[in-house]
Chains A and B, each alone.
Chain A
Amino acid sequence: MLDVFIFATLNGLVTGLLLFMLASGLTLIFSMMGVLNFAHASFYMLGAYFAYSVSLYFGYWTGLIFAPIIVGVLGALVERYGLRRVHQHGHVAELVFTFGLAFLIEEAVQFFWGADTKNYQSPDLLDFPLFTLFGQEFPAYRGFMIGISISIFIGLYYVLTKSRIGIIIQAALTHPHTVSNLGHNVPLIFMCVFGVGSALAGVAGVIAGPVLTTFPGMAVVLGSIVFVIVVIGGLGSLAGAFIASILIGLLQSYAIASDVGMPDLLNLLGLEFDRNHPLTDLWTLTLPQIAPILPFLLLVLVLIFRPTGLMGKREQ
């Protein structure tokens, strides 16, 4: 029981940190533009594909460095030549633009890399068990995922709260006019934030690609959960996004690891149902089966009981 719990926690942490790598960028970009960027997870997918292609020729580590840079530059270009122009036509136009971009990137990925799953592998260097506990191995690659995510977050936190550029970014998110009047080039700052946010999604793609499989649907699969996270955390709140990411990562992981289901619950209540009952699918439902929909269930609950999300502020 304890071994299941420990491994489920570690795996949940891996997923949660990965989710936060996407959710943090999405949150920053939301604070800046005032709309959700539906193409955010597409940058995550591009990260995985670029890294896959680079790794074929130069190995995993080169991909880890260059794929996020390419994705970041691409993100900055999208902001500069796409979103900034669309911005003057209002939020709806921006939203539609990011939707279109997400489809475009998915089509492009299928066009260039094909519709099949890519054999993107974690590096041989990390192909060993980090430790063995209760006879179960924890792969070093997952430990690496935790390590790299945490280092990036500490670095970002430091830059954002302690450095002068971080202070300017924080102020520009809420008071762009005032910051501009003090002589700071706010459009340039926004382009860089968009680029860095996209690059973060790219890093997530690079490190998640080998574990969560690299295929053209990966943006939709993870993207929908990331949107759930930023809404649950409270739109625009980095702390909320962090809590929601870890929460959902752990929740899903515990649900998958648990082997309880409706039969156990019914037994507990002293009820029993016939195997041939027309609703037998419902009575035999197990927690691992419903794990994928748990985030959405949580979303519905949060929207009903706390519409601003965990840490969100009320809209003015």
Chain B
Amino acid sequence: MLSVSNLHAYYGKSHILQGVNFTIEEGEIVSLLGRNGVGRSTTVKTIMGEVEPTGSILFKGQEIAGKKSFEIANLGLGYVPENRNIFPTLTVRQNLQLGLKPGTNTGKWTIEEMFDLFPNLGERAEVAGGVLSGGEQQMLCMCRTLMGDPELIMIDEPTEGLAPKIVEQVAQLLQKIADRGVAILLVEQKLSIALKISLRLYVMGHGQIVYEGTPDSLMRADEVRAEWLEV
């Protein structure tokens, strides 16, 4: 479904991504792990066309390197950025409407279904997004992207700064999304939910993938965790 090969990216003169390679198959939950600053966010931003790529990014067999963000999104690639960019002055419902693709009025997921999944959001449908709690904003962000019917959704650090109970809810939502056949690329720093829900995972260090495996194999690879993950 997504195949990234020899991907490089720069911020000015600094060479951030130095040949990143990985793949995601249909319906998989794959985690991209690593310490702060290793280039995980840059990887997803580059795939999304926000940072200029060199190398190849194949999505559903089509080269998307060099395409514009909105074109990539319209091909079915969803992205939930790490800064939880909800639109604070728009209502929860309007935020969700923004996720609908141009020219469509409904997708696989309806607003009402979202509200069933998250009664919290439903109760506050007409409230400005800016007054929601951090966890609710994260849910809103993910739901907003789902409204556009992505086939693969890339989610950058959804559990950052959330209480353990909310983290659990996020994990449940991710599982529900995957159950509907949507592939997920989960970017995380902590192992907790990644180990629980992913099928495969990649560990990133200094702009490259340094380890590829399953949750089980990573649990056994003590030296990898010590060198690239634990702080």
Q: Which residues of A line the B interface, CB within 8 A?
A: 164, 167-168, 170-171, 174-175, 177-186
Contact = CB atoms under 8 A, between A and B. Distances in A.
A180 B68 contact: yes
Given A181-B48, A182-B148, A170 B90 contact: yes
Contacts of A181: 48, 50, 69-70, 73, 79, 81
29 contacts: A167-B94, A167-B97, A168-B98, A170-B89, A170-B90, A171-B98, A177-B69, A178-B81, A178-B85, A178-B87, A179-B98, A180-B68, A180-B69, A181-B50, A181-B70, A181-B73, A181-B79, A181-B81, A182-B70, A182-B73, A182-B99, A182-B148, A183-B101, A183-B102, A184-B70, A184-B98, A184-B102, A185-B102, A186-B70
B50 A183 contact: no
Contact of B145 (A177, A182, A185): A182
Contacts of B50: 177, 181
In the complex, which of the residues A167, A168, A180, A181 has the most CB atoms of chain B within 10 Å of its own CB atom?
A181
A175 B85 contact: yes
Interface in B167-222: none
A167 B95 CA distance: 9
A192 to B, nearest CB: 13
In the complex, which of the residues A170, A177, A180, A182 has the most CB atoms of chain B within 10 Å of its own CB atom?
A182
B87 A185 contact: no
Nearest to B87: A171
Contacts of A175: 85, 87
Tell me if A's interface is mostly helix, strand, loop or mixed.
helix
Contacts, number: 55
Contacts of B120: none
B74 interface: yes
B94 to A, nearest CB: 5
A185 B69 CA distance: 9
